[in-house]
Amino acid sequence: MAISSPGIGSNLDINGIVSQLMSIEQQPLVSLSQKEATHQAKLSAIGNLKSALSSFQSAVKALSEISKFQAVKVSAADATIASASGSSAAAPGTYSLEVTKLAQAQKLASAGQASAATAIGQGTITFDFGTIDIGAGSFNSTTGKYTGASFTSNGSGTKTITIDSSNSSLAGIRDAINKGNIGVTASIVNDGGASPYRLVLTETTTGKTSSMKISVAGDAALGTLLNHDPSAAPAGQGFSETVTAQNAEFKVDGIAVSKTTNTVTDVIEGVTLTLAKTNIGSPTNITVTRDTATVTASVNQFVQAFNQINQTLTDLSSYNATTRQGAILNGDATVRTIQTQLRSILTTAVGGDAGAYTLLSQVGVSVQKNGTLALDSTKLQKAVDSNFSDIAGLFAAVGKTSDSLVTYTGSATKTTVGAYALNITRLATQGKTTGQAGDPADLLIDASNDTLQVQVDGVAATITLTQKTYADAAALAAEVQSKINGASALSSAGASVKVTELAGVLTITSNKYGSASNASITGGNGQASMMGATPSASAGEDVAGTLNGVAATGSGQALTGATGSAAEGLKLMITGGSTGARGTVNFSKGYAYQFDKLVDSMLESTGPINSRTDGINASLKSLAQQKQRVSDRLVNIEKRYRAQFTALDMAMASMTKTSSFLQQQLDNLPKIE
């Protein structure tokens, strides 16, 4: 390989000359790099702005919820008796609470077994849940057995557990029950006796309507151990009841209340009570007050959130007149647009007449000359004290209805602020089937009429009724309801029914409202004897009505403003009442809600932030392409420079050689003396 040494022939500094020439040629590349750095800085600044907008949105979104401004404080004078919490629906006041009983779940213990691992038998265990009524009978607390009691199913549905060769021991039965997730937990207790292992069942639901009735189909030994009918003679009760199911019994302001659980949500409106201990004869007080501190804190958070995004926008777009230096996004149209839109919301009154306050200044929030917000705490406190419930309308999306059976449940971005006259033309109904008029259901259920094919809310199932003669139609109705609601195909789909009777005629009603609601008997050998030859079936209907004269969309009891109308997306729940004019719904969008939606539009894929980012990225891509073209051109230019100077070097070297030769020839000529 030839070794090149530019300039060696002429002593020219070719590398230095080319380098200096190329530094001049590279000026366009330097300029492009500077532009690229500027765009990268803008891209970073837009990223910071996007992050700041996201933080601002998170803050205002939290403040756009009405609960933030209608919070209440609920406290119990004696927290050992009960704890309490409340929602915005709770009315301020003081309530007396006296607890005489706590709700508890039933516990049953089986007869002892010598081993927990020895196989007992195989079969199907069926659990039913309901109420034990002693009536004129009795309960022996020593044996844990009832005499002369009755059992009424609560209609929630029976549950079954299959016991086969893989789980036929006491431990296997325990595991199968726990795995079945049927609302009963099982454990094994060693009582230290000759046959020490006892299966203990505990209902997971408290209250006297959740006592257990257990029946076994299959092996006799399994049946002897687990069959348990509280309405049967003691011999038919395989388990001993160690804890009796009972309701919580208490008084609120002297009014006696009985509930199946210790957590109560429907006694004092908007208040949840969790009972913990009895206090017979020593009532404690439950106090509900407005949580003005939370409201004040929320308004403060709103002011801080706005000031933070305002500061970010100012920092990114500022200009220093002294240094004559502008921030990286100084003069940027996107930033100016965002600032304008944010400030526009602040200076526009909230419409819709959903509250007494329509301007931030009415609650002490004012806009300063520099664009920030300032809070007058004294004025805010006065507004909170004088009109607490209307503060929410200034910040959240609020719908106020004039009919107590009409509830505002939500809105959409396109819902227009305003007042909407509501007219209901049809109330929602439930699907149902009623037996043939004047043809009471047959109370004798045997192999000839014990199956029914049912369809509830579009889901089909087949049930088998317990064969026996029922005491009355109400007992048969309870059995039908229990078996339908216990069908796994229905319960897994969330379908359930209520079965009632009138003059012995059964009516099966879906618990769902609307056009998707139906309940019918489609077959089975008990269809005719249960419902007669010509039962009357009707599907449910959706609520129907108008908002400001425009037909709304009904689904069950929910009515939603029609697409394209001013009320688009306005959601109401109609839970009763009559058809006809149902008053007015006043809808407003508070400042926090408006900011949330505005930032949503700014950050969406087609919004200004992403458009600006796309624009900068496009510029960067173009600059990269330009740089590549310049770089390619520079390579050729440098190559040309080197070729030219190499040629010069060679020419100068040749001339030097010729000069040396001629000099030698001249030096060798005879000298003239």
pLDDT given at position 258: 95
**pLDDT category of residue 558 using cuts at 50, 70 and 90:** very high
* pLDDT tens digit sequence for 483-527: 898 888 998 899 999 999 999 999 999 999 999 999 999 999 999
Most confidently predicted of 289-293, 356-360, 442-446: 442-446
Would you call 658 exposed, middle or buried from its count of C-beta atoms within 10 A (0-12, 13-18, 19+)?
A: exposed
Largest CA distance in the chain: 167
75 strand-pairing partners: 287
Residue range 600-621: mean pLDDT, rounded: 94
155 vs 378: which has the higher pLDDT: 378
Rounded to an integer, what distance in angstroms lies between the CA atom of residue 304 and that of residue 385? 22
- Label the pairing between strands 145-147 and 248-252: unpaired
Residue range 232-239: mean pLDDT, rounded: 94
* pLDDT tens digit sequence for 399-440: 999 999 999 999 998 999 999 999 999 999 999 999 998 899
Q: Which amino acid is at 218?
A: G
**Which tokens is 340 given?**
């304008």
Give the whole-number percent of the chain exceeding pLDDT 90.
79
Is the CB of residue 603 less than 8 Å from the CB of residue 53?
Answer: yes
Task: Report residue 332 CA to chain centroid gap.
Answer: 39
Is the CB of residue 317 less than 8 Å from the CB of residue 325?
Answer: no
Residue with the two structure tokens 């709700």: 103
Rounded to an integer, what distance in angstroms lies between the CA atom of residue 622 and that of residue 640? 27
580 vs 671: which has the higher pLDDT: 580
**pLDDT category of residue 351 using cuts at 50, 70 and 90:** confident
Say yes or no to pLDDT of 6 above 80.
no
pLDDT given at position 515: 97
Would you call 85 exposed, middle or buried from its count of C-beta atoms within 10 A (0-12, 13-18, 19+)?
A: middle
The helix-helix angle for 591-603 and 27-63 (nearest 10°) equals 150
Rounded to an integer, what distance in angstroms lies between the CA atom of residue 279 and that of residue 99? 5
Lowest mean pLDDT among 68-72, 244-248, 282-286, 602-606: 68-72
Pick from 189, 202, 201: nearest CA to 226: 201
Q: Tell me the CATH architecture of domain 1-66+292-396+590-672.
A: Up-down Bundle (1.20)
Rounded to an integer, what distance in angstroms lies between the CA atom of residue 172 and that of residue 661? 116
Is the CB of residue 395 less than 8 Å from the CB of residue 378?
Answer: no
Cα torsion through 484, 490, 491, 492, rounded to 10: 160
Give the whole-number percent of the chain exceeding pLDDT 70.
98
pLDDT given at position 491: 86
Residue range 325-349: mean pLDDT, rounded: 92
Domain ranges for the chain, please list them.
1-66+292-396+590-672, 72-102+249-290, 107-246, 401-428+543-589, 430-538
How far CA 530 is from CA of 462, 468, 477, 496, in Å, comes to: 14, 14, 10, 19
127 strand-pairing partners: 159, 214
Say yes or no to pLDDT of 117 above 70.
yes
**How far apart are the two ends of the chain, measured CA to CA in Å?**
53
Please report how many Cα atoms fall inside a 13 Å half-sphere around the Cα of residue 278, on the Cβ side: 11
pLDDT given at position 71: 83
**pLDDT category of residue 1 using cuts at 50, 70 and 90:** very low
Say yes or no to pLDDT of 673 above 60.
no
- Residue 388 main-chain phi, psi, to 5 deg: -55, -50
Would you call 112 exposed, middle or buried from its count of C-beta atoms within 10 A (0-12, 13-18, 19+)?
A: middle
Q: Tell me the CATH architecture of domain 430-538.
A: 2-Layer Sandwich (3.30)
Residue range 605-631: mean pLDDT, rounded: 94
Would you call 35 exposed, middle or buried from its count of C-beta atoms within 10 A (0-12, 13-18, 19+)?
A: middle
375 vs 355: which has the higher pLDDT: 375
Pick from 166, 247, 164: nearest CA to 211: 247
Residue range 366-376: mean pLDDT, rounded: 92
Is the CB of residue 141 less than 8 Å from the CB of residue 150?
Answer: no
Alpha helices in 143-240, H assignment, sequence order: 170-180, 220-226
Residue range 119-124: mean pLDDT, rounded: 95
**pLDDT category of residue 649 using cuts at 50, 70 and 90:** confident
207 vs 353: which has the higher pLDDT: 207
DSSP string, 355-382: SS--SGGGGTEEE-TTS-EEE-HHHHHH
Pick from 283, 342, 280, 361: nearest CA to 602: 342
Q: Which amino acid is at 337?
A: T
pLDDT given at position 65: 82
Alpha helices in 2-73, H assignment, sequence order: 14-25, 27-63
Rounded to an integer, what distance in angstroms lies between the CA atom of residue 473 and that of residue 522? 21
pLDDT given at position 669: 79
pLDDT given at position 4: 59
